[in-house]
A = this chain, B = another copy of it.
Amino acid sequence: MEVFEAILKRRSVRKFTDKKVTDEQIDKLLNAAMAAPSACNKRPWHFYVVKNEEVLSQLKKASRFSNKNSSLIIVACGDTKRALPMQLNDYWIQDVSAAVENILLTATGLGLGTCWCGLHPMVRTVKKVRAILGAPEHHIPMALIHVGYPDEFPEARTQFEEKRVKIID
């Protein structure tokens, strides 16, 4: 699928069929994620790929937005041990967000649906998800991404608004 088309087609999908995402597809999603730009190329990320029924079920109860019927969840985390120091530390959020967007777009190109559920900066939810994943303190769960074959098909769209642009020429 052409890149601009994928960008418009990427919509949040909240209902999935039972068909499983394959390991080959998961590999492609992770390759896309890690091709994202990052500040000083630090690549301050870690990805938990969850297929286990019990862990999926716990994750779906972790926040009131995360209860969807997907059979695959990828939790994208920041890795503060790899992040930049001091005032630049928070750049990991931008880096991981670009990686997440790459996952969503690649999934769209594969005919998969996704839903990005925000975790960080909700402190309690971050702690809960970290505990469920058995993740160390320096991994900060930022996005819980449902992935699966869509059972609903929102229309492609831009949400272009002219008033959000200022041209300086």
Interface residues, chain A, with chain B CB atoms under 8 Å away: 1-8, 10, 12, 28, 30-32, 34-37, 39, 41, 43, 45-52, 55, 79, 87-88, 90-91, 93-95, 97-98, 100-102, 104-106, 108-109, 116, 118, 121-123, 133, 135, 142-143, 157-161, 164-169
| B contact residues around A3 at 8 Å (CB) | 1-3, 5-6, 105-106, 108-109
Q: How far is the CB of A86 from chain B (nearest CB, A)?
A: 10
Per assembly, the copies of the chain total 2
Instruction: Let me know if A166 and B100 touch, CB within 8 A.
Output: no
**Contacts A102-B101, A161-B43 given: A35-B7 contact, CB under 8 Å?**
yes
**Contacts A164-B45, A165-B47 given: A88-B35 contact, CB under 8 Å?**
no
Bound form: Cα–Cα A167–B122 in Å: 24
Instruction: Let me know if B121 and A158 touch, CB within 8 A.
Output: no
Instruction: Let me know if B160 and A34 touch, CB within 8 A.
Output: yes
**Contacts A7-B106, A10-B35, A157-B35 given: A52-B87 contact, CB under 8 Å?**
no
Bound form: Cα–Cα A12–B35 in Å: 11
| B contact residues around A168 at 8 Å (CB) | 48-52, 55, 133
Bound form: Cα–Cα A104–B82 in Å: 24
| B contact residues around A105 at 8 Å (CB) | 3, 7, 105
Bound form: Cα–Cα A55–B166 in Å: 13
